[in-house]
Amino acid sequence: MEDRPGSLGALAVALGSVGADILSLDVVERGPGYAIDDLVVELPAGSMPDMLITAAEKLNGVYVDTIRPHTGLLEAHRELELIDHIAAAPTRADKLQVLVDEAPRVLRVGWCTVVRRGESGPERIAGSQGAPETRAAELPWLPLERATALDGTADWVPELWREMDTTLAAAPLGDPNVAVVLGRPGGPGFRPSEVARLGYLAGIVATILR
């Protein structure tokens, strides 16, 4: 949306006109004259999500990138709570499992895994409940030096992931050959600010694991 005084208020009014209640808002990215926001809204029972697009895009300068279901609780300081939970886990394996289990809610993605480049091929160290059973036969992007958005259409990506239009991002977890991977079936693509956020989180978790 246009980044100007009153634009968010106008959007709230437009969404309210179709019965949508804004429960939370995160500013994902800002640029010259625009802002990208991630909103969680509640709709009346029986309402169609498409009505959100119609209501929002009646406003000048507003474009809806994607609508997706939100699961989990709305909590403040999500990253801080995740870090606290990881630090409290007793073993390294437990810490990694907490990371993959809670990261999807915190970072608003579909699934999370931790993978390693082994001598005999890729190894999955931990995976969230929503992580796909189909695994990549190779991970040519490892070793990894910094957080990055991955090409979800590349040859190494399993066909099922591509069919679900899964967007991907990864960050090294204290070792260039070990990475935390995020998957977002159906998109949207990862914004630079989201990739940076993943990198910061992975760096803190790597320190805890050491």
Distance spanning both ends of the chain, measured CA to CA: 42
pLDDT tens sequence across 7-46: 888 899 999 999 998 888 888 888 898 999 988 898 888 8
Domains of the chain with bracketed CATH: 7-56 (no CATH), 78-209 (3.30.450.40)
pLDDT tens sequence across 139-173: 999 999 999 999 999 999 999 999 999 999 999 99
- Minimum mean pLDDT range among 18-22, 69-73, 99-103, 111-115: 69-73
Contacts of 80 (CB under 8 A, 6+ apart): none
Helix axes 92-107, 192-209, angle to 10 degrees: 160
pLDDT tens sequence across 36-94: 998 889 888 888 889 999 999 999 999 999 888 776 555 546 788 899 999 999 999 99
Rounded CA separation 116/136 (Å): 12
Rounded CA separation 144/147 (Å): 8
